Amino acid sequence: MIQIFNLIIYKPIFNALIAIYNFIPGHDLGLAIILLTIIIRLIFLPLTIRTVASQQLMAKIQPKLKELKERYKDNKQALGEATMALYKEHKINPLSGCLPLLIQFPVLIALYRVFLAVFKPQDLPSMLYSFISNPGVITPIAFGFFDLSKRSIVLAIVAGVMQFIQARSSFSLQKSSGSMDKDSFASKMNKQMMYFFPFTIILIAWGLPAGITIYWIVTTLYSYVEQKLVYKYRVSKEAIN
């Protein structure tokens, strides 16, 4: 498993970061991280679109779900089976909303390992692909003043605040689209996570190198903008059809 993780996640991210670092003027690691974040999120854009599509399908079947709850209110097993059958009929994955978040964690683990290795010139030759130039010593200073190799309490707090704004926006979009029943377990859980998860992010980012925190801030900001655009696109498409 470790070898597969290194082959398909860790080493590609490491080489992508070095390639961007080599390419951009001034060799600014902070800017390289921002560009790498955008590239990673663009790769996952089809997954985001499918997730939003699944959430909008959930909105369409809400009346049927309520009907099933009323019909099988005294039989939880039958309700569960009928609900899963309804999901299968409409090709809905009820866990699709969690996938973008779950995918972030392997990437974060890989980035953490990248930041442990990227400032060690002796490790670069063994990690780089043959077509990626070895930059030698990589400076951790970003934007002329910010040391990305050290933790930043300010950035940790910013990451938590951004996470709260993004989560609240996502929750509001799902409510407005009707894809989530406000009285459902999922709705209540999402509302709790909207307040709990940002504090978790702050605690985690508190002890991480600032470079990883910048990645999380940028990917959260990207998610905020992406969700609004994708929802707007899907709504417009539905209106045309």
Instruction: Give yes or no for residue 20 having a pLDDT over 90.
Output: yes
pLDDT band at 23 (very low <50, low <70, confident <90, very high): very high
Token pair in block for residue 209? 């190198």
User: What amino acid occupies position 218?
Assistant: V
Provide the whole-model pTM. Answer: 0.76
The answer on pLDDT for 215 being more than 60 is yes
Higher pLDDT, 130 or 93: 130
- Note whether 54 and 93 are within 8 A (CB): yes
More confident residue, 239 or 122: 122
For residue 241, pLDDT over 60 is answered with no
pLDDT in the model for residue 156: 94
Range in 38-42, 81-85, 98-102, 177-181 with the lowest mean pLDDT: 177-181
- What pLDDT score does 45 carry? 82
For residues 175-196, give the mean pLDDT: 60
pLDDT tens, 63-107? 787 888 888 777 788 888 888 888 887 777 666 666 666 777 788
Percent share of the chain, pLDDT over 90: 20
How high is the pLDDT of residue 181? 54
235 pLDDT band (50/70/90 cuts)?
Answer: low
